[in-house]
Structure 1
């Protein structure tokens, strides 16, 4: 049932997007209604009742949201998840709900090498699981690189590097993170990866406020470096893009 409900929501979104595109091209809503053979009141219902266009940033739905399970002890694994990873997941789930997208949760095991089927949000740094390493490697514009013992996000085209401000000054309560989104085999994969788990929370914080501006129908992949400020342990108070978004259009 959830799958059918998600398809219905996507159909409503597409209708709204088509109406708004026709309006941008110069047709008024009365003319659009006449062309579609429906009333102007029905046009208003579609516009007000359908999900926003940026719903498609995450796909059609439902969307699986995963965070890494942490290894604990020698040879043992426990149900331990970082607090910032959990906060990032909750924030992403809030965004999904606002966009009329159903969501489910999955655990990323330390040896996980593949993204689950369907539309997915992977909240995982490359050091936590091979699947995150692979996703980062496949990004068109950014890569992760270790230089003199420190990790950097690097622009492939220019070589410009970004690292956590706390690396230079441990008292600096800021971090950076990677945001990547691509369409693959008829689905959407969104990847969030902080230099630390706080960086992942910061990316989710930025996405919460900026997904509407980030989404474009013609964009097939996008990535960015997000910097965030942290207070009171795990509370992200501000976030901003410091590189990108870098996009690939159809």
Structure 2
């Protein structure tokens, strides 16, 4: 735990943020690897004829915890929204902090990483890496199991890929960034820009540039929207899969938070789930 103590002992606030972010990423990678080792070992022991109860008793761990682990390894079909089984890479954008100019991750995006990690583990998928997108926003989108949390203002490449969505997208005008329903022409401007505790986000599964699969994408007009999209995905994953299976789709999500704590306490669909080739987008329950 030397890294944790080093973060605690760092007195300069911006340096502490940087070290905490880097250390958290290292710990998340270690947790993912330890989870894989444990699952593989349990699978091996079961292949040798041991029951979960026997493994729990002899290893001195909770039977209930191993039972939860066993349900993960059954490969829930909705995991196809994330990956075909390949390890997941989560890529998040960064901003340059004040005087130091160092790239840092929004607090809300760190929360989104935690939510995506938790969802992936529940599905039996491993998060192999957390990748940080720095200016000018270049990223390799031709990878299996890629999840991106990055607004188009941080990456012209992301903006270019979003332009291919015939239904939803981001747009910027004299009043700032907003989300657009291209079919109706309706513009969704973030409540946060009006001083209200809320934000809007884009959430979708988009085709890779090489045409050999898809990548999962989410981003808010502001950083809280990305966290809200991750929360909506976690909560609605089963129903989303029933609707869209492993195809291409997109939707808009709304989130709200407690003004006193800035903790997000509400996520719901803002605009219907759209799939190319369907006459109209479908409205999921809120």
Q: TM-score, normalised by structure 1?
A: 0.73
Confirm or deny that 1:212 pairs with 2:238.
yes
Asked whether the equivalents of residues 78 and 237 of structure 2 are also in contact (C-alpha less than 8 Å), the reply is yes
Distance in 2 separating the partners of 1:215 and 1:187: 16
What RMSD, in angstroms, separates the aligned Cα atoms of the two structures? 2.7
Q: How many pairs does the alignment contain?
A: 205
* Deviation beyond 6 Å, 4+ runs, structure 1: none
Number of the residue aligned with 1:222: 249
Distance in 2 separating the partners of 1:234 and 1:94: 21
Q: Deviations over 1:82-133 (max 9, x none)?
A: 1011111111111111111111211111212333422211101111222321
Number of the residue aligned with 1:165: 191
Q: CA deviation at 1:68?
A: 1.2
Matches within 5 A, 1:5-154: 50-60=74-84, 61-73=86-98, 77-103=101-127, 104-116=129-141, 117-154=143-180
Q: Deviations over 1:49-71 (max 9, x none)?
A: 52211010012221100111222
Q: CA deviation at 1:181?
A: 0.6
What SS does structure 2 have at the residue aligned with 1:97? Answer: helix
Distance in 2 separating the partners of 1:175 and 1:247: 23
Confirm or deny that 1:238 pairs with 2:262.
no
Go from structure 1 to structure 2 and tell me whether the alpha carbon gap of 1:93 and 1:131 turns closer, same or farther (over 3 Å shift): farther
In terms of fraction of residues, the more strand-rich structure is 1
Q: CA deviation at 1:182?
A: 2.3
Distance in 2 separating the partners of 1:57 and 1:191: 11
Task: Specify which structure has the bigger relative contact order, considering alpha-carbon pairs within 8 angstroms and separated by 6 or more residues.
Answer: 1
Q: CA deviation at 1:214?
A: 0.8
Go from structure 1 to structure 2 and tell me whether the alpha carbon gap of 1:112 and 1:152 turns closer, same or farther (over 3 Å shift): closer
What SS does structure 1 have at the residue aligned with 2:96? Answer: coil
What SS does structure 2 have at the residue aligned with 1:167? Answer: helix
Distance in 2 separating the partners of 1:63 and 1:230: 28
Go from structure 1 to structure 2 and tell me whether the alpha carbon gap of 1:79 and 1:57 turns closer, same or farther (over 3 Å shift): same
What SS does structure 2 have at the residue aligned with 1:220? Answer: coil
Go from structure 1 to structure 2 and tell me whether the alpha carbon gap of 1:66 and 1:158 turns closer, same or farther (over 3 Å shift): same
Confirm or deny that 1:181 pairs with 2:205.
yes
Structure 2 runs not aligned, ≥5 long: 1-32, 41-69, 279-286
Asked whether the equivalents of residues 219 and 247 of structure 1 are also in contact (C-alpha less than 8 Å), the reply is no
Distance in 2 separating the partners of 1:206 and 1:47: 22
Asked whether the equivalents of residues 92 and 204 of structure 1 are also in contact (C-alpha less than 8 Å), the reply is yes
Asked whether the equivalents of residues 133 and 139 of structure 2 are also in contact (C-alpha less than 8 Å), the reply is no
